[in-house]
Structure 1
Amino acid sequence: MTIPTLSLKGISAAQTPARVDMEIYFEALGNRYHRDQNPTGTFPMNVAENHLCWDILREKIQQITRENDIPEWVASYGDPSGIPDFREATAIFLSKFLIKKPIDPNTLACSVGATSVIEMTAFLLANPDSTAVIPAPSYPVYTGDIGVFPGVKRYDLQTHLELEELKNGIPISIAQLEKSKEEIESSGSNFSMLILTSPDNPTGGIYSEKQLRTITDWCISHQIHLVVNEIYGLVRINHQHPDLIQDYPQPIEFISFGSIMQEYESPYLHLWHSFSKDFGISGFRIGTLHSYNEDLIKAYKNVGLGHSISNYTQWTLTEVLKDMDFLDSYFSAFQEALTESYLIVRSTLKELNIPFNPSYGSLFIWMDLSEFLKEKSAKSEEELWLNIYQKSGILLTPTAGFGHQKHGLYRIVITSFDHEDLQLAMKRLKDYVNAKRSSR
């Protein structure tokens, strides 16, 4: 008999990958397409990374490191929730570009990436075995982020079935929230958190100001923590582009939840942000919590040492955030590049008559490939996902974990490759779809 060398949690961790597609993702990365060195390579388009304007930001960072001496304090310990200069620079940045209202740096706590912020927030706000409600479909790794260490359960709230139901925004209602609360409490758990993502992952939808205010009032009245994840808050497509405007007959204006929070200053309202997606620096590992709950910020400081960001990283990004002229030009270039990527993928899906949800933002398009399923089942979804990869080299995000009731919906990341390479990836997708239809 083999004696286990790990704890029960350790055994579970060893047997449970963070994502079901990680092994095949690393395989695809090892054979990634390159127009000269590997023209028959693969297109991993399943992980939410933004590679569009890294060259612009890299040049700025290189300039900073060439022209400035590293401060003495960088080599020392600092505030676990972020050094004061970094939190101040982040507060000014969020005030100008996202929230559009001044915010106090003391309402911010920072740690190593969005994953850390989500985990820490759930750990500090919700008791183990309580439940977080998340409208489906949604980010699969929320399950691990709120569950592995905080021990919080995930409840996938089914707000719709078909893509067509998203045309006027994400159709969440108070009646749905009331029903989920009754089901959770009847199961012996407690509805402790509601997590919204705006712009949404994977649908690209956004919540209107009216929706946010209605949900805010409901959550406060029931003492439920409302957290809005705006990690894609600055990853917004120009839906006023002349080639896109017809897709949005009743356009929704993006309003940061931070502006609503400032009016209420409620201990039940919180916002998440990260520099990973808008700046395309996932590897820098910088996430931010914004909250007027003073006890939450204090608790974050007290237990956040193991989640603190490297001082060198904080210093470097602080210098970037000080240059408002650079930030203006960067985000102008980024939105233009993002919109072009979206146009490339959108035009392909339109040509192929593949249903998709018109996106307001994020790094994705959420599309319906259910016509190619052998049957409406999770097994058939996985078979199709693998077949697309094997035949075309395109690795989509698998459907497992999104928590949605309809089979055959897949996410494609539109920012993994430059525009020339993305065009080739779309040609491969066309060839695959046409061959699949011909074979039937």
Structure 2
Amino acid sequence: MGLMSMDQPQLLSKIATGDGHGESSSYFDGWKAYDKDPFHLTKNPHGVIQMGLAENQLTADLVQNWIMSNPEASICTLEGVHNFKHMANFQDYHGLPEFRNAVAKFMSRTRGNRVTFDPDRIVMSGGATGAHEVTAFCLADPGDAFLVPTPYYPGFDRDLRWRTGVKLVPVICESSNNFKLTRQALEEAYEKAKEDNIRIKGLLITNPSNPLGTVMDRTTLRTVVNFINQKRIHLISDEIYAATVFSHPSFISVAEIIEQDTDIECDRDLIHIIYSLSKDMGFPGFRVGIIYSYNDSVVNCARKMSSFGLVSTQTQYLMTKMLSDDEFVERFLGESAKRLAQRYRIFTGGLVKVGIKCLQSNGGLFVWMDLRDLLKKPTFESELELWRVIIHEVKINVSPGCSFHCSEAGWFRVCYANMDDRALQIALQRIRSFVLQKNKEVMVSDKNSKPCWHSNLRLSLKSRRFDDIMMSPHSPIPQSPLVKATT
């Protein structure tokens, strides 16, 4: 066979051959490290513990119990099979009316019933990922941009940019005010984009924040609404963690601002909310994403585009039954908040014992961990060097702040709700051993007046003492009924 001609046309598209997905990010590299060597309590006890995945597994038992008590909610049971034919044939991209009613009601419930949602404005999508992309397609053309406060979820680079051609312009937030979004930061980012000839079409906020785990207060939300109205740009409010808030201050939706704060000027056509059941209910595999827009044209366009990522009618049917059970929903949300609060206290308490602080937060499924004191230098190169040690030696997958576009080196997102109690305890013990080792190295470094990072940070993971601690019935982590170890 002859050599391929140099002027042969490219066979694949730029999307197929490019890196627009962002998979080369350290955020995804951590997942790959876990996939190669996943922790298992008995089969691989020295593997990598996954703390880079924002998944809520703390309430799975509540859902399982409900399903067992309501077999008719599934079309794949003897009790529910009589609806199989209708559900299997249903193709309306508006979605089941009962489903949209149930979702609208649930969205109100997760916001304390302080605001109501119109079922006719509920648009389905394949998870929040699909909802974000569809919204971007509706609001912006290739080359246009959205402002996004930092640090922000790395998946936004994929969700909003990859196939749409839209750009993201960071709004720099800093630790000096706990990464709170300010009018000054918004103005600076907006003006900088104008200087670079970038047309800003909207502002994307995440509330509660991923990765910070904080909620926006009313003053900040009013500032945001005033800003987008003045600039005549859209506001996309990602509220997928609305029901993960487990302590005060409570979550405030942008819907409350535009419906209750009558003294604020607001063009509702500019307001759009993204929601899903992935985080609040712990159903990422069901791919239930929601676009809720106050703009009729966006609703109509998004509904047509939803044909590319509909929620299956089987899922709609099940979710309708579950979310319409008021007693279950109330009990679920209350218990979920209780368990998240307990897990947060246990994890942050364990970190404090070894001198590690986190940004104070009260929502989400993660903490924003401050490891600036462990960096060799206050640089992102040092952050990634430390991250590699944590991945390969400590054997914990955490996500470095640079992958979230954080403006300051040394911050890490750590997820704590995607594992059982024993795995969490093992993770805390590994962190404790690592920090103690690092402290010893600092002492040696001070004595010798030169850096001294040992590579043999195996943390005695294979020691009998470590295993005994984890298996002891006197473990400080209480065993809840929902977290049975996988064996």
The two structures have a TM-score, normalised by structure 2, of 0.82
Is 1:156 the equivalent of 2:156?
A: no
Larger Rg: 2
Is contact 1:123–1:150 with CA below 8 Å preserved after alignment? yes
Alpha-carbon distance between aligned partners in 1 of 2:142 and 2:188, rounded to the nearest angstrom:
22
What does residue 86 of structure 1 align with?
Answer: 99
Is contact 1:81–1:300 with CA below 8 Å preserved after alignment? no
Alpha-carbon distance between aligned partners in 1 of 2:376 and 2:213, rounded to the nearest angstrom:
27
Alpha-carbon distance between aligned partners in 2 of 1:134 and 1:309, rounded to the nearest angstrom:
28
Is 1:28 the equivalent of 2:34?
A: yes
C-alpha spacing 1:60/1:106, structure 2 compared with 1 (3 Å): same
C-alpha spacing 1:174/1:15, structure 2 compared with 1 (3 Å): closer
How much has 1:22 moved relative to structure 2? 3.0
Deviations 1:117-176 (A, max 9, x none): 01110111112111111111111111111111121111111122x2x521xxx5322222
What does residue 219 of structure 1 align with?
Answer: 228
What does residue 128 of structure 1 align with?
Answer: 142
Is contact 1:344–1:422 with CA below 8 Å preserved after alignment? no
What does residue 290 of structure 1 align with?
Answer: 292
C-alpha spacing 1:330/1:105, structure 2 compared with 1 (3 Å): same
Unaligned runs of 5+ in 2: 261-265, 443-487
Higher relative contact order (CA 8 A, sep 6+): 1
What does residue 202 of structure 2 align with?
Answer: 193
What does residue 272 of structure 1 align with?
Answer: 274
Aligned residue pair count: 423
How much has 1:345 moved relative to structure 2? 1.3
Alpha-carbon distance between aligned partners in 1 of 2:220 and 2:122, rounded to the nearest angstrom:
25
Is 1:119 the equivalent of 2:133?
A: yes
Is contact 2:20–2:162 with CA below 8 Å preserved after alignment? no
Matches within 5 A, 1:330-409: 330-409=332-411
Alpha-carbon distance between aligned partners in 1 of 2:419 and 2:250, rounded to the nearest angstrom:
28
What does residue 256 of structure 1 align with?
Answer: 253
State the SS of the aligned residue for 1:337.
Answer: helix
Alpha-carbon distance between aligned partners in 2 of 1:359 and 1:159, rounded to the nearest angstrom:
16
Deviations 1:358-381 (A, max 9, x none): 112001100111222223333322
1:57 to 57, 63, 78: 63
Segment of structure 1 superposing worse, 30-39 or 223-232: 30-39
Is contact 2:272–2:291 with CA below 8 Å preserved after alignment? yes
RMSD of the alignment, in Å? 2.0
Alpha-carbon distance between aligned partners in 2 of 1:188 and 1:261, rounded to the nearest angstrom:
31
Is 1:43 the equivalent of 2:49?
A: yes
What does residue 68 of structure 1 align with?
Answer: 80
Alpha-carbon distance between aligned partners in 1 of 2:441 and 2:21, rounded to the nearest angstrom:
39
State the SS of the aligned residue for 1:304.
Answer: helix
State the SS of the aligned residue for 1:33.
Answer: coil
Alpha-carbon distance between aligned partners in 1 of 2:239 and 2:191, rounded to the nearest angstrom:
28
Alpha-carbon distance between aligned partners in 2 of 1:217 and 1:372, rounded to the nearest angstrom:
40
Opposite residue 217 of structure 1, the aligned amino acid is N
Is contact 2:214–2:363 with CA below 8 Å preserved after alignment? yes
How much has 1:422 moved relative to structure 2? 0.8
Identical aligned residues as a percent: 29
Alpha-carbon distance between aligned partners in 2 of 1:203 and 1:100, rounded to the nearest angstrom:
25
Alpha-carbon distance between aligned partners in 2 of 1:365 and 1:260, rounded to the nearest angstrom:
27
C-alpha spacing 1:368/1:95, structure 2 compared with 1 (3 Å): same
State the SS of the aligned residue for 1:183.
Answer: helix
Alpha-carbon distance between aligned partners in 1 of 2:168 and 2:388, rounded to the nearest angstrom:
27
Alpha-carbon distance between aligned partners in 2 of 1:131 and 1:47, rounded to the nearest angstrom:
27
